[in-house]
Amino acid sequence: MKVLLISTGRLPASYFVRARAELGHPETIVDVLAWAPPGEPVGELVQRYLLLGPGEMPQSQPDQQGPPGRQAGQPPTSTTAQRSWNLGRVRAGLRHRLRPVFRARRTRALRRLLRRGPSRKFWRRVRTNQAASQLAREADLLVVLDAGSIRTGWHLARRHAGKPALFGLSAAAQFARSDHPAASR
């Protein structure tokens, strides 16, 4: 059975281990269609991870030696901690800076644009991406993992009417255990 996980959130590699365990079938193939990159390298846990949003896929580190100019026992030379920028922090900063603008009556359209979030953007990129269409076409089961990806899952379920689309990993696990014809593939 081929399962397509659809998500806008940043998922750790342990989530895919849990997904494989809950789905139960050893021959289950897991593909991921995501807006955000995974929290850590996923390696062999998923067959394909298609990233359509901002960010980059994390690279696996083959050795823990560090940069070539540093010895193995020395601490890193830079002590400045990098702050991670995420969508929530950027959105909060924009809200703070544009607060006077939001109070004006003529900015309703701007307010709607900022409140949308990644949901519409994610669907817009999925519908124009050939690789995403290929993943949805090949999947036997579409699993929406979070609220931001409901729109994308709904549109994909409409385009591929014969494929079951479910919300959440527990519903997908229950479907996989059922005697539905798509679950036994």
Residue 4, pLDDT score: 95
d(CA 142, CA 90): 30
Residue 145, pLDDT score: 95
Query: For 81-131, what is each residue's pLDDT tens digit?
Result: 445 567 888 888 888 887 776 566 556 666 666 666 788 889 989 999 999
Give 164's DSSP letter.
-
d(CA 185, CA 27): 9
Query: For 87-99, what is each residue's pLDDT tens digit?
Result: 888 888 888 887 7
Residue-range domains of the chain with CATH: 2-55+118-177 (3.40.50)
The model's pTM is: 0.70
Which strand ranges, in their side-by-side order, compose the sheet holding 141-144? Answer: 48-51, 29-34, 2-7, 141-144, 165-167
